Chain A
Amino acid sequence: MEDERIVALYWDRNESAIHETQKKYERYLNKIAYNILSNLEDGMESVNDTYLAAWNSIPPHRPSVLSTYLGKLTRRISIDIFRKRSREKRQATEYAVSLTELEDCIPGGSTPEETMEVQLLADAINAYLRTLPEDARNTFIGRYYFLDSLKDVADYCGMSEARAKSMLYRTRCGLKAYLIKEGFAL
């Protein structure tokens, strides 16, 4: 089913939207989740949360490319699960436990300043990536957005692993220099 029709199902609050989404994108989203979490159960949890997040956000959103929209949701949710699991694993010391306890003192969600900071950083990264040759841009996004392995990135970008590795290194150095120039404190 085309994305447009699936989005229309969401807008009509037709629950078959979830089923159609799952049918078309489950494998795609599982791949993104597994790249981040390396755990099938956590990955499934992330993808299920993605369907819920999609249901709750469409409407008002009307994405034209559903894969990108869902992919971002899965990525964000998977990273959040990863951070939560990491914090749980760190609870070996009293210090780590206290960090978790004190976390509850902070109101949920990001502050407006934090949200703005992330948005500004995103704008700068977008601008920097657009200055790059296509290969360099694609390897960076493949490695750091999709979190594919270096081998996979090299394969679909049509280059050797060694070349992809050195390209990523140069891109990271370039990004650092660009962000410093733009005034980001790193």
Chain B
Amino acid sequence: MKQERIHDALNLLDDDLIEAVDTLRASKRKRKLPWVRWVSLAACLCLLVGVASFFPFRAEDTASDGIFFANSSAEQEAEMPNVIADNSAAAGTVTGDPLISVRIDSRQEDGFLGTVTASGIWEVGTVVKVMVEEAQISKAEFPVGTVARVQFSRSEQTDGLCIVYAKEILSAE
């Protein structure tokens, strides 16, 4: 039959012609209507904007919650409200970490409890627990009742108590 002869002949097609179609079959390109591409792009943009609106700039949120994830970014430090950034402190002080002024109320094994005396990250009167290594603070230099300027690397809030991890304890001026 004629059609059978053609099918037999098609079995002798040049390999390069067959390979070209094989590549297409493997990729299985779908027909894209032009407007589908633009609608997809618009949908992606809307999704990005929607997701971004759920994540406002972190420093604003963390400042109001009283939790600050310290890093050495100068930009982030600049946006922290009323943070005392004192670069004239004693030698060895790490610049860029926030400072708070705390009146030492009572000494504890791993640091001291105190009250914030200058507004900044926390309001005046906020009770904070300052975690320090023994070597960082001497009882003679920082007796109960003195105001210390605490440069800290990180802070957290546990059971309503603000806890800061001191990097340096500086004398209040």
Whether, in the assembled complex, A159 has its beta carbon less than 8 Å from a beta carbon of chain B, the answer is yes
Whether the pair A118, B21 counts as a contact (CB closer than 8 A) is no
Cα separation A122 to B15 with both chains bound (whole Å): 12
Whether the pair B31, A83 counts as a contact (CB closer than 8 A) is no
A157: chain B residues at CB < 8 Å are 24, 29
Q: Which of A39-47, A49-57, A144-152 contacts B (4 or more CB under 8 A)?
A: A144-152
B28: chain A residues at CB < 8 Å are 155-156
Whether, in the assembled complex, B2 has its beta carbon less than 8 Å from a beta carbon of chain A, the answer is yes
Whether the pair B9, A142 counts as a contact (CB closer than 8 A) is no
Question: B31-67: which have CB < 8 Å to A?
Answer: 31-32
Whether, in the assembled complex, B5 has its beta carbon less than 8 Å from a beta carbon of chain A, the answer is yes
Whether, in the assembled complex, B7 has its beta carbon less than 8 Å from a beta carbon of chain A, the answer is yes
Whether the pair B17, A129 counts as a contact (CB closer than 8 A) is yes
Whether the pair B11, A67 counts as a contact (CB closer than 8 A) is no
A156: chain B residues at CB < 8 Å are 24-25, 27-29
Query: Chain B 1-28 against A: per-residue CB contact (8 Å), 1 yes, 0 no?
Result: 0101111111111110111111011011
B9: chain A residues at CB < 8 Å are 118-119, 121-122, 125
Question: A78-131: which have CB < 8 Å to B?
Answer: 79, 83, 117-119, 121-122, 125-126, 129-130
Cα separation A155 to B6 with both chains bound (whole Å): 25
B29: chain A residues at CB < 8 Å are 155-158
Cα separation A75 to B24 with both chains bound (whole Å): 19
Whether, in the assembled complex, A137 has its beta carbon less than 8 Å from a beta carbon of chain B, the answer is yes
Cα separation A152 to B160 with both chains bound (whole Å): 64
Indicate whether A142 sits within 8 Å of B11 (C-beta atoms), given known contacts A65-B19, A129-B17, A155-B31.
no
B141 to chain A, nearest CB (A): 75
Indicate whether A142 sits within 8 Å of B21 (C-beta atoms), given known contacts A118-B9, A122-B10, A126-B13.
yes
B139: chain A residues at CB < 8 Å are none
Whether the pair B31, A159 counts as a contact (CB closer than 8 A) is yes
B12: chain A residues at CB < 8 Å are 118-119, 122, 126
Whether the pair B24, A118 counts as a contact (CB closer than 8 A) is no
- Pick the residue among A79, A126, A130, A146 that contacts B25 (CB under 8 A): A146
Whether the pair B11, A75 counts as a contact (CB closer than 8 A) is yes
B18: chain A residues at CB < 8 Å are 68, 71-72, 141, 145
A154: chain B residues at CB < 8 Å are 31
A105 to chain B, nearest CB (A): 20
B150 to chain A, nearest CB (A): 66
Whether the pair A65, B31 counts as a contact (CB closer than 8 A) is no
Whether the pair B13, A122 counts as a contact (CB closer than 8 A) is yes
Whether, in the assembled complex, A160 has its beta carbon less than 8 Å from a beta carbon of chain B, the answer is yes
A152: chain B residues at CB < 8 Å are 25
A65: chain B residues at CB < 8 Å are 15, 19
Nearest first, the 4 A-B pairs at minimum CB distance are: A122-B12, A121-B9, A122-B9, A141-B21
- Report which B residues bind A (CB closer than 8 A): 2, 4-15, 17-22, 24-25, 27-32
24 A-B residue pairs with CB within 8 Å: A65-B15, A68-B18, A69-B15, A75-B11, A83-B4, A118-B8, A118-B12, A119-B12, A121-B6, A122-B10, A122-B11, A134-B20, A141-B13, A141-B17, A141-B18, A141-B21, A144-B7, A144-B10, A145-B21, A154-B31, A155-B29, A155-B31, A156-B27, A186-B2
